[in-house]
Structure 1
Protein backbone atom coordinates (compact mmCIF):
# COMPACT_ATOMS: atom_id res chain seq x y z
CA UNK A 1 0.00 0.00 0.00
CA UNK A 2 1.31 3.50 -0.82
CA UNK A 3 1.75 4.64 2.79
CA UNK A 4 4.69 5.19 5.07
CA UNK A 5 4.33 2.99 8.16
CA UNK A 6 5.94 3.34 11.60
CA UNK A 7 6.02 -0.12 13.18
CA UNK A 8 6.57 -0.79 16.89
CA UNK A 9 8.69 -3.94 16.85
CA UNK A 10 11.24 -5.65 19.07
CA UNK A 11 13.96 -5.38 16.46
CA UNK A 12 15.24 -2.85 13.95
CA UNK A 13 16.34 -5.52 11.50
CA UNK A 14 15.03 -4.44 8.09
CA UNK A 15 15.59 -7.80 6.37
CA UNK A 16 12.67 -8.62 4.04
CA UNK A 17 10.81 -5.48 5.17
CA UNK A 18 9.42 -3.13 2.49
CA UNK A 19 11.09 0.26 2.14
CA UNK A 20 7.97 2.14 3.27
CA UNK A 21 7.96 0.44 6.71
CA UNK A 22 10.20 1.72 9.50
CA UNK A 23 10.45 -0.64 12.51
CA UNK A 24 11.51 0.67 15.91
CA UNK A 25 11.75 -0.73 19.43
CA UNK A 26 10.12 2.43 20.81
CA UNK A 27 7.99 5.16 19.25
CA UNK A 28 6.63 8.41 20.79
CA UNK A 29 2.97 7.53 20.31
CA UNK A 30 1.52 10.88 21.42
CA UNK A 31 3.85 12.89 19.18
CA UNK A 32 3.11 10.67 16.18
CA UNK A 33 -0.67 10.82 16.65
CA UNK A 34 -0.45 14.59 17.10
CA UNK A 35 1.43 15.07 13.83
CA UNK A 36 -0.66 16.46 10.98
CA UNK A 37 0.71 13.79 8.63
CA UNK A 38 -0.67 10.90 10.70
CA UNK A 39 -3.63 9.37 8.87
CA UNK A 40 -4.30 6.06 10.69
CA UNK A 41 -3.51 4.28 13.94
CA UNK A 42 -3.41 0.48 14.09
CA UNK A 43 -3.61 -0.61 17.73
CA UNK A 44 -4.69 -3.42 20.06
CA UNK A 45 -7.45 -1.16 21.36
CA UNK A 46 -6.15 -0.35 24.83
CA UNK A 47 -8.03 2.39 26.67
CA UNK A 48 -5.15 4.87 26.61
CA UNK A 49 -4.49 4.26 22.91
CA UNK A 50 -8.16 4.76 21.99
CA UNK A 51 -8.34 7.93 24.07
CA UNK A 52 -5.17 9.35 22.52
CA UNK A 53 -6.46 8.60 19.02
CA UNK A 54 -9.73 10.38 19.83
CA UNK A 55 -7.89 13.38 21.28
CA UNK A 56 -5.85 13.77 18.08
CA UNK A 57 -8.71 12.94 15.68
CA UNK A 58 -6.98 9.92 14.13
CA UNK A 59 -9.13 6.99 12.88
CA UNK A 60 -8.16 3.48 13.98
CA UNK A 61 -7.92 -0.15 13.01
CA UNK A 62 -8.35 -2.02 16.28
CA UNK A 63 -7.00 -5.57 16.70
CA UNK A 64 -8.06 -6.44 20.28
CA UNK A 65 -6.34 -9.26 22.13
CA UNK A 66 -7.63 -9.50 25.69
CA UNK A 67 -9.19 -7.87 28.78
CA UNK A 68 -10.92 -4.52 28.04
CA UNK A 69 -9.56 -4.18 24.51
CA UNK A 70 -12.57 -5.88 22.88
CA UNK A 71 -14.97 -3.52 24.67
CA UNK A 72 -12.87 -0.45 23.82
CA UNK A 73 -12.66 -1.45 20.17
CA UNK A 74 -16.41 -2.09 19.97
CA UNK A 75 -17.09 1.33 21.52
CA UNK A 76 -14.76 3.00 19.01
CA UNK A 77 -16.65 1.28 16.19
CA UNK A 78 -19.95 2.56 17.63
CA UNK A 79 -18.49 6.08 17.57
CA UNK A 80 -17.63 5.60 13.91
CA UNK A 81 -13.89 6.16 14.37
CA UNK A 82 -12.54 2.62 14.00
CA UNK A 83 -12.68 -0.71 12.23
CA UNK A 84 -12.19 -4.02 14.07
CA UNK A 85 -9.94 -6.74 12.67
CA UNK A 86 -9.71 -10.05 14.54
CA UNK A 87 -6.53 -12.09 14.64
CA UNK A 88 -8.41 -15.16 13.40
CA UNK A 89 -9.42 -13.36 10.20
CA UNK A 90 -6.11 -11.54 9.69
CA UNK A 91 -4.80 -11.82 6.12
CA UNK A 92 -3.18 -9.31 3.80
CA UNK A 93 -6.55 -8.83 2.09
CA UNK A 94 -8.55 -8.22 5.28
CA UNK A 95 -5.86 -5.88 6.61
CA UNK A 96 -5.90 -3.80 3.43
CA UNK A 97 -9.71 -3.69 3.47
CA UNK A 98 -9.77 -2.56 7.12
CA UNK A 99 -7.15 0.13 6.45
CA UNK A 100 -8.99 1.52 3.43
CA UNK A 101 -12.32 1.50 5.30
CA UNK A 102 -10.84 3.24 8.36
CA UNK A 103 -9.24 5.91 6.15
CA UNK A 104 -12.54 6.72 4.45
CA UNK A 105 -14.03 10.21 4.60
CA UNK A 106 -16.73 9.08 7.05
CA UNK A 107 -14.25 7.77 9.60
CA UNK A 108 -12.05 10.86 9.28
CA UNK A 109 -15.04 13.16 9.80
CA UNK A 110 -16.21 11.17 12.84
CA UNK A 111 -12.70 11.28 14.32
CA UNK A 112 -12.46 15.06 13.87
CA UNK A 113 -15.89 15.48 15.44
CA UNK A 114 -14.88 13.48 18.52
CA UNK A 115 -11.68 15.48 18.71
CA UNK A 116 -13.71 18.70 18.76
CA UNK A 117 -15.94 17.35 21.52
CA UNK A 118 -12.96 16.46 23.71
CA UNK A 119 -11.30 19.83 23.04
CA UNK A 120 -14.49 21.77 23.86
CA UNK A 121 -13.67 22.66 27.48
CA UNK A 122 -14.10 25.97 29.37
CA UNK A 123 -10.44 25.93 30.42
CA UNK A 124 -7.61 24.25 28.51
CA UNK A 125 -6.20 21.30 30.52
CA UNK A 126 -2.70 22.83 30.53
CA UNK A 127 -3.96 26.12 32.01
CA UNK A 128 -6.00 24.21 34.59
CA UNK A 129 -2.95 22.19 35.65
CA UNK A 130 -0.87 25.37 35.94
CA UNK A 131 -3.58 27.00 38.05
CA UNK A 132 -3.67 24.20 40.62
CA UNK A 133 0.11 23.89 40.80
CA UNK A 134 0.36 27.62 41.53
CA UNK A 135 -2.52 27.35 44.02
CA UNK A 136 -0.65 24.66 45.99
CA UNK A 137 2.56 26.70 45.92
CA UNK A 138 0.81 29.91 47.05
CA UNK A 139 -0.90 28.22 49.98
CA UNK A 140 2.06 26.31 51.39
CA UNK A 141 1.15 22.87 50.14
CA UNK A 142 -2.63 23.49 50.30
CA UNK A 143 -3.39 21.58 53.52
CA UNK A 144 -7.07 22.51 53.07
CA UNK A 145 -7.13 20.19 50.04
CA UNK A 146 -5.60 17.31 51.95
CA UNK A 147 -7.88 14.29 52.25
CA UNK A 148 -9.02 13.49 55.80
CA UNK A 149 -8.30 9.86 55.01
CA UNK A 150 -4.58 10.63 55.16
CA UNK A 151 -4.89 11.16 58.95
CA UNK A 152 -6.80 7.93 59.69
CA UNK A 153 -5.10 4.80 60.96
CA UNK A 154 -5.29 1.48 59.16
CA UNK A 155 -8.39 0.21 61.02
CA UNK A 156 -10.28 3.47 60.57
CA UNK A 157 -9.36 3.91 56.91
CA UNK A 158 -10.65 0.46 55.93
CA UNK A 159 -13.55 0.53 58.47
CA UNK A 160 -12.40 -2.78 59.94
CA UNK A 161 -14.46 -2.20 63.11
CA UNK A 162 -17.60 -1.92 60.97
CA UNK A 163 -16.65 -5.04 59.04
CA UNK A 164 -16.14 -7.01 62.28
CA UNK A 165 -19.50 -5.80 63.63
CA UNK A 166 -21.33 -6.80 60.46
CA UNK A 167 -19.66 -10.22 60.46
CA UNK A 168 -20.67 -10.74 64.09
CA UNK A 169 -24.28 -9.85 63.29
CA UNK A 170 -24.21 -12.20 60.31
CA UNK A 171 -22.84 -15.07 62.41
CA UNK A 172 -25.47 -14.42 65.10
CA UNK A 173 -28.28 -14.45 62.55
CA UNK A 174 -26.98 -17.69 61.04
CA UNK A 175 -26.83 -19.32 64.47
CA UNK A 176 -30.39 -18.23 65.22
CA UNK A 177 -31.57 -19.65 61.91
CA UNK A 178 -29.80 -22.95 62.59
CA UNK A 179 -31.31 -23.13 66.10
CA UNK A 180 -34.75 -22.34 64.70
CA UNK A 181 -34.34 -25.03 62.07
CA UNK A 182 -33.37 -27.61 64.70
CA UNK A 183 -36.42 -26.69 66.83
CA UNK A 184 -38.71 -27.11 63.83
CA UNK A 185 -37.18 -30.50 63.05
CA UNK A 186 -37.66 -31.66 66.66
CA UNK A 187 -41.30 -30.55 66.67
CA UNK A 188 -41.97 -32.40 63.43
CA UNK A 189 -40.25 -35.56 64.73
CA UNK A 190 -42.31 -35.49 67.92
CA UNK A 191 -45.52 -35.11 65.96
CA UNK A 192 -44.61 -38.00 63.69
CA UNK A 193 -43.68 -40.19 66.66
CA UNK A 194 -46.91 -39.32 68.48
CA UNK A 195 -49.06 -40.05 65.44
CA UNK A 196 -47.24 -43.35 64.89
CA UNK A 197 -47.81 -44.42 68.50
CA UNK A 198 -51.50 -43.49 68.24
CA UNK A 199 -51.89 -45.58 65.08
CA UNK A 200 -50.14 -48.52 66.79
CA UNK A 201 -52.50 -48.37 69.80
CA UNK A 202 -55.54 -48.27 67.52
CA UNK A 203 -54.36 -51.24 65.53
CA UNK A 204 -53.80 -53.25 68.74
CA UNK A 205 -57.33 -52.45 69.93
CA UNK A 206 -58.77 -53.56 66.63
Structure 2
Protein backbone atom coordinates (compact mmCIF):
# COMPACT_ATOMS: atom_id res chain seq x y z
CA UNK A 1 0.00 0.00 0.00
CA UNK A 2 1.49 3.34 -1.04
CA UNK A 3 1.78 6.39 1.17
CA UNK A 4 -0.79 8.12 -1.02
CA UNK A 5 -3.26 5.24 -0.42
CA UNK A 6 -2.64 5.47 3.29
CA UNK A 7 -3.22 9.22 3.29
CA UNK A 8 -6.38 8.84 1.20
CA UNK A 9 -7.72 6.19 3.54
CA UNK A 10 -6.89 8.22 6.63
CA UNK A 11 -8.80 11.13 5.09
CA UNK A 12 -11.69 8.74 4.43
CA UNK A 13 -11.64 7.58 8.05
CA UNK A 14 -11.51 11.20 9.24
CA UNK A 15 -14.45 12.27 7.07
CA UNK A 16 -16.60 9.21 7.70
CA UNK A 17 -15.91 8.61 11.39
CA UNK A 18 -19.20 8.36 13.26
CA UNK A 19 -21.23 7.90 10.04
CA UNK A 20 -23.09 4.74 9.00
CA UNK A 21 -22.33 2.99 5.69
CA UNK A 22 -23.81 4.73 2.67
CA UNK A 23 -23.40 1.82 0.26
CA UNK A 24 -21.84 2.01 -3.18
CA UNK A 25 -19.36 0.07 -5.27
CA UNK A 26 -16.31 1.36 -3.29
CA UNK A 27 -17.48 0.17 0.15
CA UNK A 28 -15.65 -3.17 0.01
CA UNK A 29 -12.45 -1.62 -1.31
CA UNK A 30 -12.58 1.10 1.34
CA UNK A 31 -13.12 -1.50 4.07
CA UNK A 32 -10.12 -3.50 2.87
CA UNK A 33 -7.95 -0.38 2.87
CA UNK A 34 -9.06 0.57 6.38
CA UNK A 35 -8.39 -2.98 7.53
CA UNK A 36 -4.90 -2.90 6.02
CA UNK A 37 -4.09 0.42 7.67
CA UNK A 38 -5.29 -0.84 11.03
CA UNK A 39 -3.10 -3.92 10.68
CA UNK A 40 -0.10 -1.70 9.88
CA UNK A 41 -0.93 0.51 12.86
CA UNK A 42 -1.08 -2.53 15.13
CA UNK A 43 2.29 -3.75 13.89
CA UNK A 44 3.91 -0.35 14.36
CA UNK A 45 4.81 -0.04 10.67
CA UNK A 46 2.53 2.95 10.15
CA UNK A 47 3.21 6.41 11.48
CA UNK A 48 -0.17 7.77 12.47
CA UNK A 49 -0.65 11.56 12.63
CA UNK A 50 -1.32 12.65 16.23
CA UNK A 51 -4.75 13.99 15.35
CA UNK A 52 -5.75 10.58 13.96
CA UNK A 53 -4.42 8.37 16.77
CA UNK A 54 -7.74 8.09 18.59
CA UNK A 55 -9.64 7.32 15.38
CA UNK A 56 -7.13 4.68 14.30
CA UNK A 57 -7.13 3.14 17.79
CA UNK A 58 -10.92 2.94 17.68
CA UNK A 59 -10.82 1.24 14.29
CA UNK A 60 -8.10 -1.15 15.49
CA UNK A 61 -10.23 -2.07 18.51
CA UNK A 62 -13.28 -2.56 16.29
CA UNK A 63 -11.37 -4.86 13.93
CA UNK A 64 -9.97 -6.84 16.86
CA UNK A 65 -13.50 -7.29 18.19
CA UNK A 66 -14.68 -8.29 14.73
CA UNK A 67 -11.93 -10.90 14.38
CA UNK A 68 -12.64 -12.24 17.86
CA UNK A 69 -16.38 -12.47 17.19
CA UNK A 70 -15.76 -14.19 13.86
CA UNK A 71 -13.52 -16.75 15.58
CA UNK A 72 -16.18 -17.33 18.26
CA UNK A 73 -18.84 -17.77 15.58
CA UNK A 74 -16.72 -20.28 13.68
CA UNK A 75 -16.06 -22.23 16.89
CA UNK A 76 -19.75 -22.14 17.81
CA UNK A 77 -20.76 -23.44 14.38
CA UNK A 78 -18.16 -26.21 14.59
CA UNK A 79 -19.28 -27.14 18.12
CA UNK A 80 -22.92 -27.24 17.01
CA UNK A 81 -22.09 -29.44 14.03
CA UNK A 82 -20.08 -31.78 16.25
CA UNK A 83 -22.96 -31.89 18.74
CA UNK A 84 -25.44 -32.77 16.00
CA UNK A 85 -23.09 -35.46 14.69
CA UNK A 86 -22.66 -36.97 18.16
CA UNK A 87 -26.40 -36.82 18.81
CA UNK A 88 -27.12 -38.69 15.57
CA UNK A 89 -24.51 -41.33 16.39
CA UNK A 90 -25.85 -41.72 19.93
CA UNK A 91 -29.42 -42.04 18.66
CA UNK A 92 -28.38 -44.64 16.08
CA UNK A 93 -26.42 -46.56 18.72
CA UNK A 94 -29.38 -46.46 21.12
CA UNK A 95 -31.72 -47.85 18.45
CA UNK A 96 -29.23 -50.57 17.58
CA UNK A 97 -28.77 -51.51 21.25
CA UNK A 98 -32.52 -51.63 21.83
CA UNK A 99 -33.06 -53.80 18.76
CA UNK A 100 -30.19 -56.05 19.78
CA UNK A 101 -31.74 -56.55 23.21
CA UNK A 102 -35.10 -57.55 21.74
CA UNK A 103 -33.51 -59.93 19.25
CA UNK A 104 -31.37 -61.55 21.94
CA UNK A 105 -34.50 -62.08 24.01
CA UNK A 106 -36.36 -63.73 21.12
CA UNK A 107 -33.56 -66.08 20.07
CA UNK A 108 -34.43 -68.66 22.79
CA UNK A 109 -37.90 -68.93 21.25
CA UNK A 110 -36.34 -69.78 17.91
CA UNK A 111 -34.29 -72.46 19.67
CA UNK A 112 -37.48 -74.03 21.02
CA UNK A 113 -39.12 -73.98 17.60
CA UNK A 114 -36.03 -75.56 16.04
CA UNK A 115 -36.02 -78.30 18.68
CA UNK A 116 -39.72 -78.98 18.08
CA UNK A 117 -39.12 -79.37 14.35
CA UNK A 118 -36.52 -82.07 15.07
CA UNK A 119 -39.13 -84.33 16.70
CA UNK A 120 -40.34 -87.41 14.86
CA UNK A 121 -43.89 -86.58 13.66
CA UNK A 122 -44.92 -90.22 14.03
CA UNK A 123 -44.04 -90.19 17.72
CA UNK A 124 -45.48 -86.79 18.62
CA UNK A 125 -48.75 -86.89 20.57
CA UNK A 126 -51.30 -84.13 21.02
CA UNK A 127 -50.19 -83.82 24.63
CA UNK A 128 -46.58 -83.33 23.51
CA UNK A 129 -47.68 -80.55 21.15
CA UNK A 130 -49.73 -78.86 23.88
CA UNK A 131 -46.85 -79.07 26.34
CA UNK A 132 -44.51 -77.57 23.76
CA UNK A 133 -46.90 -74.71 22.99
CA UNK A 134 -47.33 -74.02 26.70
CA UNK A 135 -43.58 -73.96 27.29
CA UNK A 136 -43.06 -71.63 24.35
CA UNK A 137 -45.80 -69.29 25.57
CA UNK A 138 -44.38 -69.23 29.09
CA UNK A 139 -40.96 -68.37 27.68
CA UNK A 140 -42.45 -65.58 25.58
CA UNK A 141 -44.27 -64.16 28.62
CA UNK A 142 -40.99 -64.24 30.55
CA UNK A 143 -39.21 -62.36 27.75
CA UNK A 144 -41.94 -59.72 27.56
CA UNK A 145 -41.81 -59.30 31.32
CA UNK A 146 -38.11 -58.58 31.04
CA UNK A 147 -38.96 -55.57 28.88
CA UNK A 148 -41.60 -54.31 31.31
CA UNK A 149 -44.56 -55.72 29.37
CA UNK A 150 -47.42 -57.07 31.46
CA UNK A 151 -50.85 -58.46 30.63
CA UNK A 152 -54.17 -56.73 31.25
CA UNK A 153 -56.32 -59.69 32.25
CA UNK A 154 -59.82 -58.64 33.31
CA UNK A 155 -62.27 -61.21 34.66
CA UNK A 156 -65.93 -61.73 33.96
CA UNK A 157 -67.93 -59.41 36.19
CA UNK A 158 -65.23 -56.74 36.44
CA UNK A 159 -66.35 -53.16 35.87
CA UNK A 160 -65.61 -51.91 32.36
CA UNK A 161 -62.75 -49.38 32.35
CA UNK A 162 -62.38 -47.43 29.06
CA UNK A 163 -58.70 -46.77 29.65
CA UNK A 164 -57.67 -50.43 29.68
CA UNK A 165 -60.68 -52.21 28.15
CA UNK A 166 -62.10 -52.01 24.63
CA UNK A 167 -65.78 -52.91 24.24
CA UNK A 168 -66.10 -55.03 21.11
CA UNK A 169 -69.78 -55.79 21.61
CA UNK A 170 -72.63 -55.67 24.11
CA UNK A 171 -73.86 -58.94 25.55
CA UNK A 172 -76.50 -59.51 28.23
CA UNK A 173 -75.31 -61.91 30.91
CA UNK A 174 -77.27 -63.32 33.82
CA UNK A 175 -75.98 -62.30 37.21
CA UNK A 176 -73.66 -59.59 35.88
CA UNK A 177 -74.39 -55.92 36.44
CA UNK A 178 -74.83 -53.52 33.50
CA UNK A 179 -71.60 -51.82 32.47
CA UNK A 180 -69.58 -54.82 33.59
CA UNK A 181 -67.67 -57.39 31.55
CA UNK A 182 -69.73 -60.28 30.19
CA UNK A 183 -66.75 -62.18 28.80
CA UNK A 184 -63.16 -61.57 27.74
CA UNK A 185 -62.29 -61.96 24.06
CA UNK A 186 -58.55 -61.30 24.40
CA UNK A 187 -56.24 -59.94 27.06
CA UNK A 188 -54.52 -56.59 26.70
CA UNK A 189 -50.94 -55.53 27.28
CA UNK A 190 -49.15 -52.53 28.72
CA UNK A 191 -45.54 -51.38 28.73
CA UNK A 192 -44.90 -50.04 32.19
CA UNK A 193 -47.97 -47.89 32.75
CA UNK A 194 -48.59 -47.26 29.04
CA UNK A 195 -51.36 -49.30 27.47
CA UNK A 196 -50.13 -50.97 24.29
CA UNK A 197 -53.38 -52.76 23.57
CA UNK A 198 -56.52 -52.69 25.72
CA UNK A 199 -58.21 -55.94 26.63
CA UNK A 200 -61.01 -56.74 24.16
CA UNK A 201 -64.23 -57.51 26.02
CA UNK A 202 -68.00 -57.83 25.72
CA UNK A 203 -69.96 -55.56 28.04
CA UNK A 204 -73.36 -56.02 29.60
CA UNK A 205 -75.58 -53.20 28.23
CA UNK A 206 -76.80 -50.59 30.67
CA UNK A 207 -80.43 -50.69 29.39
CA UNK A 208 -82.64 -53.15 27.53
CA UNK A 209 -82.70 -50.74 24.58
CA UNK A 210 -78.91 -50.96 24.37
CA UNK A 211 -79.09 -54.75 24.13
CA UNK A 212 -81.57 -54.62 21.29
CA UNK A 213 -84.34 -56.27 23.33
CA UNK A 214 -87.91 -55.17 23.82
TM over 0.5, yes or no?
A: no
TM-score by length of 1: 0.30
TM-score by length of 2: 0.29
Larger Rg, first or second structure (1 or 2): 2
